[in-house]
Amino acid sequence: MPVELPAWLQQFAWPLALCALPMPLLARWLLPPRRSASAALRVPYGERIDHVAGKSGHALRGGGPNVLAWLAWAALCIAVARPQALGPPIAPPQAGRDLMLAVDLSGSMSEEDMDLGGRPVDRLTAAKAVLADFLDRREGDRVGLLVFGQRAYTLTPLTLDLTTVRQQLGDSVVGLAGRETAIGDALALAVKRLQAQPAEQRVVVLLTDGVNTAGVLDPAKAAELARDAKVRVHTVAFGGGGAVSVFGFRLPVPGGDDIDEAGLQRIADTTGGRFFRARDTESLAGIYAEIDRLEPIRRPGQAVRPRIERYPLPLGLSLALALASLAAVPLRRRA
């Protein structure tokens, strides 16, 4: 269990340096006394020299120079301990936005009509790859993740911990929230999560490959709620139109592109966002690059109290006392 230091000791960066304060006294007690030169050399006026030396030694033990030296040592120890003071709180400006990612996990996201690295993949896998790169560039943004199918669920609230958001996205699978598509409920949940935040600019990026087939809230009504809450919604219609694999070749299926592009366009127009259509991973990556260029806001970051160093004062005092002690020794001897 860590030991908490008293409040006055917490004002020192290195409080253990104060343990050196009694070192001169310990050295005087523990070291053997210096032998007098009068025991080895006899002179006619030895008694007079011993008398003068005794008076000087008494002065050094309790007189001015010795006191000044002790005070200089104490001030030096305090300077080495680095006394500090807390300055006023400072909230450095931070550029960023509150961004909520809403990702469709309905059954149609399992369609393998996407190409990633030269191999066919399903829509969700392609979306994960592009979103992971998008998250890598979100420095300063607070990002949340919600997924939706038949219902909408929040996987991560707004956070600066983008590693957790990336992990939750990677663990998502098709059908996790149901096989249908509740676009209106997903948008309303995203607005609710953003509305509780104090930010001035709130953004939702909604990615889907279908039409609203579930939920209790109509997408148009959810868009009005977002507009009233000053939430800008960018909608991304994602899908290659459907395809089947024949002997390793992907062939498009006529009429397989079942996406409500008009409805997604209305959501974006109502909230002041933009509508994008992505038919492959390259166009999806370009869309997220465009969203990345949105003008971020500047907001106060986490308040910190800087530590102001106060050691120059005791260090200067120690130097002045040491010089005064050295200057006082000849004066005492002449006296």
pLDDT of residue 298: 54
Determine the length of the chain. 335
**Of 206, 242, 211, nearest in space to 127 by CA:** 206
Q: What is the DSSP letter of 87?
A: -
d(CA 67, CA 59): 10
pLDDT of residue 278: 86
pLDDT tens per residue across span 121-148: 889 999 998 898 888 877 778 899 999 9
87 or 64, higher pLDDT: 87
d(CA 184, CA 222): 6
- Note the Cα 305 to chain centre separation in Å: 15
**Of 231, 252, 232, 233, nearest in space to 242 by CA:** 252
SS (H, E, C) 245-299: EECCEEEECCCCCCCCHHHHHHHHHHHCCCEEEECCHHHHHHHHHHHHCCCCEEE
d(CA 13, CA 268): 54
pLDDT of residue 253: 46
pLDDT of residue 54: 46
pLDDT of residue 43: 52
The answer to whether the beta carbons of residues 243 and 114 sit under 8 Å apart is: no
What's the mean pLDDT when you consider all of the chain?
78
Domains of the chain: 9-87+306-334 (no CATH), 93-300 (3.40.50.410)
**Which band of pLDDT confidence, cut at 50, 70 and 90, is reported for residue 294?**
low
Sort residue 112 into left (φ over 0), alpha (ψ -120 to 50) or beta. Answer: beta
**Which band of pLDDT confidence, cut at 50, 70 and 90, is reported for residue 95?**
low
Element spanning 131, H or E: helix 123-136
Which pTM was predicted?
0.59
d(CA 233, CA 203): 6
Query: In the numeric block, which tokens belong to residue 46?
Result: 């030895």
**In what order do the strands lie in the sheet containing 202-208?**
152-159, 142-148, 98-104, 202-208, 231-238, 275-278
d(CA 216, CA 80): 68
Phi, psi of 91 (to 5 degrees): -110, 95
pLDDT tens per residue across span 230-254: 899 999 998 865 444 444 444 444 4
pLDDT tens per residue across span 251-271: 444 444 578 899 999 999 999
The answer to whether the beta carbons of residues 99 and 138 sit under 8 Å apart is: yes
State the maximum Cα–Cα separation within the chain, in Å, rounded to a whole number: 128
- Note the Cα 273 to chain centre separation in Å: 29
312 or 9, higher pLDDT: 312
Strands 114-116 and 231-238: unpaired
249 or 301, higher pLDDT: 301
pLDDT of residue 334: 52
Read off the pLDDT of each residue in 279-300 and give the average, rounded to a whole number.
74
Is residue 101 over pLDDT 90?
Answer: yes
Query: In the numeric block, which tokens belong to residue 244?
Result: 């089947």
Q: Tokens 């809450």 label which residue?
A: 229
pLDDT of residue 248: 47
Query: In the numeric block, which tokens belong to residue 238?
Result: 């994602």
d(CA 298, CA 275): 25
**C-alpha dist (Å) from residue 49 to 28, 71, 124, 216, 328:** 24, 30, 100, 108, 21
**Of 232, 212, 238, nearest in space to 148 by CA:** 212
pLDDT of residue 289: 81
**Which band of pLDDT confidence, cut at 50, 70 and 90, is reported for residue 187?**
very high
Q: What is the DSSP string of 163-210?
A: HHHHHHHHH--TTTT-SS--HHHHHHHHHHHHHTS--S-EEEEEEESS
Q: What is the DSSP letter of 304?
A: B
